[in-house]
Structure 1
Amino acid sequence: MKPFPEHGAEPRLISMRHDALILFVLVGLIVLSSSVSLFAHQVKAKHEPEAAATPKVGPDGLIEAEGVVWVRANCTPCHSANLILQFRGDAHRWLHLIRWMQAKQGLWALAPDVEKAVVDYLATNYGDREGSLRRKPLKELPPPLPAKQ
């Protein structure tokens, strides 16, 4: 009596076909999963900005970039580099701070090319950042409090 009369094949042949089918499905799943993984990696790389290289930082904490020499020569004689690291701002804000230091704190006049190098360095390396914890300055001040009677 044949064990599988409806197929008309011997058990050994059916077992080999079954093993071949399982092997084929497993290889297909492996190829499919590696293709999906590769595709997902390509999509992620396409849509996410590349991580910026970590800038080199000097012993004083300032980022080593063009203009840092002028910042060290003109800013750190009066205050620590840590004070610079606490602030963020665009070129206009940094220039405003320089003007304030010249008017109120005794900062000497900077040659135009030196001033430009300092402002460019500060705005580039310590400019406004998205997601910064510091809020943007108010455009208008709130009205004064009423006088006590």
Structure 2
Amino acid sequence: MNKELINSLKGLLGLLLGLSIFLVVFMVGLLVINQNPELLLSEVEEEKPVSLVQDDLVKDGVHVATGLVAKEGYELVVANCTNCHAADLVIQNRGDKEHWVSLINWMQETQGLWDLGDNEEKIVAYLSENYAPIQKGRRANLTDIEWYELKD
């Protein structure tokens, strides 16, 4: 036999051997996947939105996420009021206890606000203390001014 023919047959035999190994590995892989189909399912973690503000962060006496004054009772306001509207709506309003109670009653009668139970008194106390009416005139009084006399 010719040496070229022998080398060609060796090459063909190597190719067949490689192909056989590939087919065996492929068939074993198919059997494993057939027995354990969950191997194909990769668990993709749901991406959580990145919050730039921590929900419980308080800085300089203000709850950063809502802008509410962080004093006793603000957690109740966050839990009960910001379910329906932004905290800005609370902050922009001011009133005494009667105003806040009438506003809560109006929301319960017309807007579907639930019964606040014992929390109503605490919420009203917080709101009337931290968002009470500001009594001021046209402008604040001038203070710490060095006055000088006008010369004729």
TM-score normalized with structure 1 length: 0.50
1:57 — aligned with what? Answer: 62
Distance 2:120 2:91 in 1: 18
Q: CA deviation at 1:78?
A: 0.2
For 1:131 and 1:105, locate their aligned partners in 2 and report how far apart those are by CA, in whole Å: 32
Please name the residue that 1:103 is paired with. Answer: 109
Following the alignment from structure 1 to structure 2, what is the Cα–Cα distance between the partners of residues 118 and 127? 13
Report the AA paired with residue 64 of structure 1: A
Aligned amino acid, residue 107 of structure 1? L
Distance 1:117 1:131 in 2: 27
> Which residue number corresponds to residue 117 of structure 1?
122
Looking at both structures, which has the greater relative contact order when contacts are Cα pairs under 8 Å and sequence separation is at least 6? Answer: 1
Matches within 5 A, 1:59-98: 59=64, 60-98=66-104
Q: 1:132 to 1:57 in 2, by over 3 A?
A: farther
Structure 1, unaligned stretches of length 5 or more? Answer: 1-54, 134-149
- Kindly state the Cα deviation for residue 128 of structure 1 after the two structures are TM-superposed: 1.1
Which AA in structure 2 matches 1:121?
Y
Alpha-carbon shift at residue 129 of structure 1 (Å): 1.1
C-alpha offsets along residues 23-48 of structure 1, whole Å, 9 cap, x if unaligned? xxxxxxxxxxxxxxxxxxxxxxxxxx
1:38-77, Cα deviation, whole Å (9 max, x unpaired): xxxxxxxxxxxxxxxxx61111100000111110111000
Aligned length: 79
TM-score after normalising by structure 2: 0.49
Query: Structure 1 residue runs of 4+, over 2 Å off?
Result: none
Residue 120 of structure 2 aligns with an amino acid whose one-letter code is E
Q: CA deviation at 1:110?
A: 0.9
Which of 1 and 2 has greater Rg?
Answer: 2
The alignment-based identity, stated in percent, is: 46
Aligned CA-pair RMSD: 1.9
Q: CA–CA distance in 2 between the matches of 1:86 and 1:124? A: 14
In structure 1, C-alpha distance between the alignment counterparts of 2:69 and 2:105, rounded to whole Å: 23
1:71-124, CA deviations, whole angstroms, 9 ceiling, x for partnerless residues?
01110000000000110000000000000000000000111x200000000000
CA distance in 2, matches of 1:106, 1:75: 12
Change (3 A) 1:132 1:95: farther
